[in-house]
Amino acid sequence: MIPYLEWKTIALGPLTLQVWGLFAAIGIVAAVVWATREAKRQGLDAAKIEALAFWTILAAFLGARLFHVLFYEPAYYLARPWEVVSVWKGGLSSFGGFFGAAAVAAWRIRKLGLPFLKTADIAVPATVLGLGCGRIGCFLIHDHPGTLAHDGWTWLAVRYPDGARYDLGLLLGVFDFLLFGALLFLARKPRPAGWTLVVFLLAYAPVRFGLDFLRAVDVRYAGLTPGQYGSILLFIIGFFMMRRIYGKPRTRNL
């Protein structure tokens, strides 16, 4: 069983750092550094990748906040609309971040004149690396507690004060790092442009869908969490992307 470690803030004299925010920042830096280095290796303009990263990261945070407000606590924010901007109190959804970042990235990639699928093959592993770092922050503050562990599966659980519980921050973080490693391993052989996007969508969606059944505290609609509905949408997109990339020979390079 995994020990229960709780670390929410870091005091640096008069300054107090939020641990989740620190790990999210580490994830952003790691993702941008990896993406720019990979862009140079693949012959893309690293400066354009950095410009793309700025706008997509901003869109990810805005989308993450908006998704949380609309689908996780709409009644709370309807009664307290001024709290919408209080992001330091928590309340960000990874799926809102995905959709916000994807929408703006598609626009900016075209504006910057970058090849869409080739750029995606750089952005996807970078995103997964950043997600993994952020999820470690989630684990350290325990903002995604899971259900009590099943018999025989306590080795995956965290020793919470009230018993052995799954911790979704830890489980998703481990999965993100494993997926990042798998993408690097698969990249050793030539593959069609856009393959990382297909792998991410078809791998992440079912894992996230299944793990959300272990969430102890989360809003549900018709028995499913907003993340599970988002997972269904990601899987559908991934399926059609797979058909497009691995289906009939393409006559043009996107």
pLDDT at 133 over 60: yes
In 3D, which of 117, 176, 158 has the Cα closest to residue 1?
Answer: 158
Q: Which residue has the tokens 């280095």?
A: 37
- Tens of pLDDT, residue by residue over 149-205, are 987 888 889 999 999 999 999 999 999 999 999 999 999 999 999 999 999 999 999
- Tens of pLDDT, residue by residue over 10-42, are 988 888 889 999 999 999 999 999 999 999 999
Side chain identity, residue 42: Q
CA distance 73 to 75: 6
Q: Where are the alpha helices (DSSP H) in the chain?
A: 19-41, 46-71, 74-79, 94-112, 116-141, 168-186, 195-211, 226-246
- Residue 115's CB: how many other CB atoms inside 10 A? 15
Element containing residue 44 per DSSP (H, E): none
pLDDT of residue 248: 56
pLDDT of residue 144: 92
CA 67 from centre of chain? 14
Give the pLDDT band of residue 211 (cuts 50, 70, 90): very high
> CB within 8 A of 62, min separation 6: which ones?
100
In 3D, which of 23, 242, 17 has the Cα closest to residue 138?
Answer: 23
- Tens of pLDDT, residue by residue over 213-252, are 999 988 999 999 999 999 999 999 999 999 999 875 554 4
List the structure tokens of 223. Answer: 């028995």
pLDDT of residue 246: 86
CA 142 from centre of chain? 17
Give the pLDDT band of residue 127 (cuts 50, 70, 90): very high
pLDDT of residue 254: 47
Cβ atoms of residues 167 and 142 within 8 Å: yes
pLDDT of residue 183: 97
Q: Is the pTM of this model over 0.85?
A: yes
In 3-state terms, the chain is what percent helix, strand and coil (to 5)? 65, 10, 25
List the structure tokens of 5. Answer: 């470690």
Side chain identity, residue 43: G
In 3D, which of 196, 183, 194 has the Cα closest to residue 247?
Answer: 194
pLDDT at 124 over 90: yes
Residues 42, 45, 49: CA angle, nearest 5 degrees: 95
- Tens of pLDDT, residue by residue over 35-72, are 999 999 999 999 999 999 999 999 999 999 999 999 99
For residue 183, what are the CA distances in angstroms to 121, 125, 211? 10, 7, 21
pLDDT at 253 over 60: no
